[in-house]
């Protein structure tokens, strides 16, 4: 799977698919880190790359620790992994 490959290769997943965050939460995993571009953010790849690069120094440590970084229109949210058991209980 994409998650397993990212873990074995020590990679970060960059996606607009929120299912990656859900899977990490349900499994209680600390890796891989995921960068999510929400629907409200610019969808053009060049704009996403600029947004990511201009904020990379601010999120670098969080990515190394294991987190989900969510780029929204007006803010960046950081959720550290593993996500608490509360999420797992609510999803079952």
pTM of the model: 0.84
Flag whether 22 is in a domain.
yes
Asked if residue 68 lies in contact with residue 24, where contact means CB atoms within 8 angstroms, the answer is: yes
Flag whether 26 is in a domain.
yes
Flag whether 92 is in a domain.
no
> What's the mean per-residue pLDDT of the chain?
87
Return the closest-CA partner of residue 5 out of 17, 16, 20: 20
At 88 the pLDDT is 40
* Dihedrals phi, psi of 21, to nearest 5 degrees: -65, -40
At 10 the pLDDT is 96
Residue 9, domain extent: 2-87
CA 46 to chain centre: 19
Rounded CA separation 76/58 (Å):
10
Query: What are the residues facing 67 on neighbouring strands?
Result: 80
Instruction: Tell me the pLDDT tens digit for each residue of 64-85.
Output: 999 999 998 889 999 999 987 5
Flag whether 10 is in a domain.
yes
Count of structural domains within the chain: 1
């Amino acid at each position: 799977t994409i998650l397993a490959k990212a873990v074995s290769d020590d990679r970060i997943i960059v996606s607009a698919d929120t299912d990656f965050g859900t899977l990490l939460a349900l499994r209680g995993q600390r890796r891989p880190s995921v960068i999510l571009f929400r629907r409200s953010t610019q969808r053009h790849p060049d704009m996403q790359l600029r947004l990511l690069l201009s904020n990379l120094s601010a999120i670098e440590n969080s990515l190394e620790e294991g987190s989900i970084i969510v780029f929204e229109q007006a803010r960046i949210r950081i959720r550290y992994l593993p996500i608490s058991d509360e999420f797992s209980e609510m999803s079952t």
